[in-house]
Structure 1
Amino acid sequence: FCHLSYILMFIDVLILLIYLVRLAFIGLLFQTHFKTGINLIVSYYRIESQLIDACIFYQRSSKIDDNKKLIVRVPRYFFKLEHNQIYLFIENSIKFTGQFDNLDISPALSGLVVDSKYKSSNSLFMIFQLTTANFKQLEFTTLDDFIHFAVKKRNELKVDDNNILKGHILLSGKTGSGKTFAMINLSLQMLVQKINVSVIDPKNSDLSVISEISGIKCGTNADSALEMIKTYRNSMNNRKIEMNQLLKDNIASDFNDFKMTANYLVIDELAALQMIFSKEQKAEFNSVLAEVILQGRQLGFFLLVTLQQANANLISTNIREQFNSVIVLGKSEIQTYKTAFGMGIDIPTRRIDKGSGWLKQDTNESVKYIAFPALNFDIAKAFKHISKSRANT
């Protein structure tokens, strides 16, 4: 009997060690050092007691043992790693589905926070999308480091190595939220990647200065802005003619498949631009804007639009829904989040600093916390250097 007990104890210890190694390996795969693996182990063992405290358990029998304790079992749960993202799956049931809608699992987690939660497509699990609580903003102290970051993949703009901004981009945030900070990041990436860029800056501020330094075309008044977007539309239509011939032998391809260069029209503060238009100019501009956003994705003609508030009066719902990457920086009102991301999107509670906020991609049903990199080098000198390099190649 003693030998059997030792064997069973050894098996239990072995199973525990295997599980601990497995969780630590997930932490290593997540590329956040061994500490994340430890946090997952701690979280795993905390979740069970926290679910019981929240009365989320099955009571399979009314039997009471000698210590007068109910015999209960919590729903099955496990961690999963997909595309460098950690998820917590908790088994759903009729009994718990209402409780899960209001459940905040964060107190049960160690060193992790919930970015979003949603039911699986078959409703069998409640899924919590997690990230490390010690999120660190990228920082570049030299232009060379930034260039290395920016050129890893052609025609892709990034916030960090895990968050790529796809297609048309809508960037919203109040004054002081870091919109200009984000625009400088993205504009510099465009120049580094030799993406064709043109700018509309009705405020005649930071972007117009950067454009002058870099030799980028910039419209600052109603007439030049309208002419610029019409020229942009015409260039898009010219590529459409070119690609129509190529698509005959390559159905369902896009500009990337044909090694074509991406194009971006950057429109800073759409609300300020709408104010300087006459009624006729505004109608024509919005018509061309809609044409570009509806047709430009396959052709490689994109828009990067900023505004202080995602207001339905400034940008209609059917146009907003065509933006592939929607960002709200800084703290905003609930209505701004609803207009930007759509109804039914949960915004987690989290500290938001300048240059950070929430990103929703068109293929995702939830938002993700992001923070644009800090550029601790001479910005003006960097734009001059990159534009000079482009001119010489």
Structure 2
Amino acid sequence: MKEYKFVNETSIQKGIDFSLITLGLIVLLYGFTQSVPFCSIFTLLGGTIGYKLHLSKSYKLYKVIKHNLYDLVKNNNFYTIEEDKVIYRPTIFYDFNDSFITIKIRLDGSKFRDKYTKLEKLLEDLFVLECVSKEEQRGYIIYKLDRTNTKRLDASSINMLSMDYIAINNKLKWNFRKCPHALISGVTGKGKTYFLAYLIKSFLLINATIKIVDPKMSDLSYLEKIFGNNVVSAPNKIAQILRKTVEEMNNRYMEFKELKNYGFGKDYKDYGYLPIVIIFDEVAAFMASTDKKISKEVNGYLSEIILKGRQAGVFMILTTQRPDADVIPTDIRDQLGLRIALGEMSKVAYTMIFGSEFNDLELNSSTVGTGFIYMNGTTSKPVKFESPYFSADYNFVKDVSFRLH
């Protein structure tokens, strides 16, 4: 990485790269003097100029980064002057590749320390790029700005999947085997049902057993015609299906220990088992409206599956408009590897989904299916994303029915 120096830099010079012209003339002259075939001269010339152009673009980007960081320091007064001399300035390193611009700031114990750890939005404004990562590491705060273009997936065209991954977009993949369970939150009309439909289709592609809990008897309850008894809505049926799933999970653990290839650290896939996925729609509404005895029983099953399910291949996907802490306690929420908030939400809601350190998120988009996503082990903070979409002529029920039968 290059070190940023606090210099009086006020502009970026632009002009003709005369070194490029000189290099081209040298290549041509060498080719003629050595009797190199005419076409080979231009091949060599093109490759040389192309490489030089690449270096030239890299140099210009370094200049842009340096200039922006200078503006960041100057405009926020991250320096100290006494008797016309700079006696303090931050130590900043920067670098980039095709995917990211990386900015590394020394946490030197100065009075600016806390401000250095809260620069995401300022950096996003300066570079017009999204900050997708922030982490403290050995006395530095490191920011990563995303240079790549995110492409929204057409869910209707996806017909094959890895056994471990479900693509969220062209850059993010949910490894549910290593990052188990999910929480999907958002107000009505912001894309939760479509995202659930995409997950259902994806899990069917890897032959998972899918169980659906829909206490509000909304769109998902219609799938009872396809999944039969694996779709439930009544409180006693919900408790029953979860109880049976817990029994299946515990039976798997007992079966694993009887296998000849049983070993420490192995999971369901190593033993040839397929995933079991439970989708619990509007869990908060159910807990608030049902009998306390049943809600307590159901909450116990949810906690057991979330805490123990990963190795047995039993995964829980919870959805809710508002993930209240008394419904999804913090210790349980932290076990949900994938967390998604669709649509603009309040600070309180963001706190309940992602934690208090991320309560100031701003979406600034009304597009259905747009929101924030956090993936444990993949993103260090919630990042903006667009969920997969279905084309207008796609028939989800027909497709699911075909794949199941």
| Secondary structure at 2:225 match in 1 | helix
Q: Return the match for 1:173 from 171, 186, 189.
A: 186
Structure 2 partner of 1:358: 372
The alpha-carbon distance between structure 1 residues 73 and 237, as it changes in their structure 2 partners (threshold 3 A), is closer
1:191 matches 2:204: yes
Alignment of 1:218-233 (within 5 A): 218-233=231-246
Most deviating of 357-366 and 336-345: 357-366
Q: Deviations over 1:215-254 (max 9, x none)?
A: 5720011121111111111111121111223487421111
Aligned residues: 352
Structure 2 partner of 1:6: none
Structure 1 partner of 2:301: 288
For the 8 Å contact 2:186–2:192, the answer to whether it is kept is yes
Q: CA deviation at 1:276?
A: 4.5
Q: Return the match for 1:331 from 344, 347, 351.
A: 344
1:56 matches 2:78: yes
The alpha-carbon distance between structure 1 residues 38 and 277, as it changes in their structure 2 partners (threshold 3 A), is farther
Structure 2 partner of 1:374: 389
* TM-score (norm. length: structure 1): 0.77
| Secondary structure at 2:159 match in 1 | helix
In 2, the alpha carbon distance for the partners of 1:310 and 1:320 equals 9
Alignment of 1:96-175 (within 5 A): 96-103=112-119, 104-109=122-127, 111-115=128-132, 117-118=134-135, 120-124=136-140, 126-132=141-147, 135-140=150-155, 143=156, 145-148=157-160, 151=161, 153-165=162-174, 166=176, 167-175=180-188
In 2, the alpha carbon distance for the partners of 1:98 and 1:281 equals 47
For the 8 Å contact 1:116–1:347, the answer to whether it is kept is no
Q: CA deviation at 1:73?
A: 6.5
For the 8 Å contact 1:63–1:71, the answer to whether it is kept is no
For the 8 Å contact 1:356–1:371, the answer to whether it is kept is yes
In 1, the alpha carbon distance for the partners of 2:286 and 2:56 equals 52
Most deviating of 295-304 and 189-198: 189-198
Q: Return the match for 2:214 from 201, 205, 208.
A: 201
For the 8 Å contact 2:134–2:144, the answer to whether it is kept is yes
Q: CA deviation at 1:345?
A: 2.9
For the 8 Å contact 2:212–2:220, the answer to whether it is kept is yes
In 2, the alpha carbon distance for the partners of 1:372 and 1:189 equals 13
The alpha-carbon distance between structure 1 residues 349 and 280, as it changes in their structure 2 partners (threshold 3 A), is closer
Q: CA deviation at 1:265?
A: 0.5
Structure 1 partner of 2:29: none
Q: Greater CA radius of gyration, 1 or 2?
A: 2
AA in 2 matched with 1:293: I
For the 8 Å contact 1:169–1:304, the answer to whether it is kept is yes
For the 8 Å contact 2:348–2:359, the answer to whether it is kept is no
Q: CA deviation at 1:23?
A: 9.4
In 2, the alpha carbon distance for the partners of 1:174 and 1:259 equals 39
For the 8 Å contact 2:211–2:230, the answer to whether it is kept is yes
1:79 matches 2:101: no
Q: Deviations over 1:146-199 (max 9, x none)?
A: 224xx1x11433312322333110111112222112111111111222211010
In 2, the alpha carbon distance for the partners of 1:263 and 1:250 equals 21
AA in 1 matched with 2:71: S
In 2, the alpha carbon distance for the partners of 1:196 and 1:375 equals 23
In 2, the alpha carbon distance for the partners of 1:38 and 1:10 equals 15
AA in 2 matched with 1:114: C
For the 8 Å contact 1:262–1:300, the answer to whether it is kept is yes
Structure 1 partner of 2:69: 47
In 1, the alpha carbon distance for the partners of 2:261 and 2:151 equals 47
1:389 matches 2:398: no
Q: CA deviation at 1:201?
A: 0.5
For the 8 Å contact 2:287–2:295, the answer to whether it is kept is yes
AA in 2 matched with 1:147: N
AA in 2 matched with 1:368: V
The alpha-carbon distance between structure 1 residues 39 and 231, as it changes in their structure 2 partners (threshold 3 A), is farther
Q: CA deviation at 1:40?
A: 7.3
Percentage of matched positions with identical amino acids: 23
Gaps of 5+ in 1: 1-8, 26-36, 65-69
Structure 1 partner of 2:334: 321
| Secondary structure at 1:264 match in 2 | strand
For the 8 Å contact 1:80–1:89, the answer to whether it is kept is no
The alpha-carbon distance between structure 1 residues 188 and 249, as it changes in their structure 2 partners (threshold 3 A), is closer
AA in 1 matched with 2:252: R
* TM-score (norm. length: structure 2): 0.75
Gaps of 5+ in 2: 1-17, 24-49
In 2, the alpha carbon distance for the partners of 1:369 and 1:351 equals 10
In 2, the alpha carbon distance for the partners of 1:56 and 1:214 equals 61
